[in-house]
Structure 1
């Protein structure tokens, strides 16, 4: 098994060396691909040093050397990759020694196109911890509640399984066959500056046969610090709702072009509609909400059903 590890780099001069070296510890990692995204700090210099120090580290920038976001950077990394398997790592996170233990076994089955695992959390700064606990407050372990594979993963991510599937798994804990991405023409939505990872994971779970690996202990660690973009987003604010609206609209547009379960398609539409309603103001919001409830009362059962009532 030969793996390309793709690391988008933005404003991560303090952390990227640890991320790279955590990936190089594995014999299966054929290359570590750094995509430097016009960082305002000295990350580019650090990346150049790493590429000179390690033969397996390859450094790229966007053709215009501009800033294009994590989704575009990961797409460029996939394009530049040469291995049969793709793994992702954020520049401020790192792999643990058990990162590919499950993959070594599960990918012997040619039906398995992707394996996902659990990741843990480490607070790198006090301010990062404060922001995280007040705005996000996830569990230490990002994982799922039970082993799953195939379409059950897709339904679980949308909250449509009889048992609660769990939190979410992240890109740091996902390994996928490059052929599965190519066959299904799957790329990150470059129009999404946040949530492009969740967007791809849900689409991947529908098109590909994913299987859970190690879900009871972390295989990677996410670093929480002052500059984490996600910790700056406070739930149910207009900014938060706008980003959620863009995310669900991306899934909705995709669902219209693909043959997916009707209940899943309806769920995606209702989530999109709920966040669209959250962005309305004044009497127009009440009128639109009433019309939406009359049309389909299930909108009141969406995961974010209270977002449009909190402003």
Structure 2
């Protein structure tokens, strides 16, 4: 460990024994990392043991075990409490860092949050070799609240690419000074909520376009299986932010995000009633709430259209080609 090591990497993991070793190893090989905190969030497999097997005997790996599953927000807050490092980086249990991620990324003091590009890799080819990533021009820029929230309003049929998928490094001092932690009521959008509240507090959120984070894309990802209650809590998080005095631009964009998430909730709520009580009862309930009808009708139509497109798309066992979250220009390696 070098004298410049100042990053704590936090990995919240549930039933991740197949992937956690690679995640831990990728964090421990970074010379700017002084702590790796794995929170075993009520796993029923050998997640903790697989984490230990990736240890490099430098004393930087810490494993916290929770007796039951609490969700990523709770797990990450426990890790933040346990750690001491001035910088905090989040790593998902099935993802990994590209070698050298932090060497240039965390230099400078003009940011409170800083994020780099993400390479998305099909899970069918994710463990064969380290991905070959071009050297992209950094092209640094700052993300404001409007750009961040707008980037989290997903477009139907679009590839996974919302700004909310960025994995910024966060300054502990900024979080502490502003009383910011993950909202433990959220099991969906907990990152979005924390970063939006930070931006409302004046966080300087810097983005560079070089790539240092590898995200593994799975067809059965839990991120695509939202519970109805999770969607409700997420739009309520927007309402909580909207309950405070805000500039008009912030109020407008947060209202649009709340409307977007509420629409997804209304559709999911309708489908829940249909599944448990039948189409007629679901239809009656929808008619009693006319403001929900556009979201329900539009959502059903959109789902059927996507299903039709999926059936027409030829099946393939070949991994999809890797792609990047942020458009970037290849630069000259110095």
Contact 1:116 1:169 in 2 (8 A): no
Distance in 2 (CA, whole Å) between partners of 1:119 and 1:258 is 34
Contact 2:242 2:255 in 1 (8 A): no
Q: Give RMSD over aligned pairs.
A: 3.3
Secondary structure of the equivalent of 2:216?
strand
Distance 1:200 1:305, change over 3 A: farther
Secondary structure of the equivalent of 1:8?
strand
Secondary structure of the equivalent of 2:50?
helix
Distance in 1 (CA, whole Å) between partners of 2:192 and 2:232 is 13
Alignment correspondent of 1:159: 150
Larger Rg: 2
Deviations 1:48-74 (A, max 9, x none): 444583411111123xx2221111111
Q: Is residue 2:61 matched to residue 1:61?
A: no
Distance 1:240 1:8, change over 3 A: closer
The alignment of Structure 1 onto Structure 2 pairs a total of residues equal to 265
Distance 1:121 1:253, change over 3 A: same
Distance in 2 (CA, whole Å) between partners of 1:206 and 1:286 is 37
1:228 to partner: Cα distance: 3.1
Q: Is residue 2:246 matched to residue 1:259?
A: yes
Alignment correspondent of 1:180: 174
1:269 to partner: Cα distance: 4.2
Gaps of 5+ in 1: 127-139, 141-145, 234-238, 294-299
Distance in 2 (CA, whole Å) between partners of 1:168 and 1:38 is 29
Deviations 1:67-110 (A, max 9, x none): 211111111111111011000101111000242244333x333x
Deviations 1:185-218 (A, max 9, x none): 22222222232222223223332111112x2x53
Alignment correspondent of 1:220: 213
Alignment correspondent of 2:136: none
Q: Is residue 2:211 matched to residue 1:211?
A: no
Normalising by the residue count of structure 1, what TM-score does the alignment of the two structures yield?
0.72
Distance in 2 (CA, whole Å) between partners of 1:305 and 1:95 is 41
Alignment correspondent of 1:74: 76
Distance in 1 (CA, whole Å) between partners of 2:164 and 2:258 is 23
Normalising by the residue count of structure 2, what TM-score does the alignment of the two structures yield?
0.68
Find 1:196's aligned residue among 183, 190, 206. Answer: 190
Q: Is residue 2:95 matched to residue 1:103?
A: no
Distance in 2 (CA, whole Å) between partners of 1:277 and 1:41 is 35
Distance 1:24 1:38, change over 3 A: same
Distance in 2 (CA, whole Å) between partners of 1:305 and 1:58 is 49
Find 2:222's aligned residue among 226, 229, 248. Answer: 229
Contact 2:30 2:100 in 1 (8 A): no
Distance in 1 (CA, whole Å) between partners of 2:115 and 2:9 is 15
Distance in 2 (CA, whole Å) between partners of 1:7 and 1:34 is 5
Distance 1:284 1:7, change over 3 A: same
Distance 1:284 1:6, change over 3 A: same
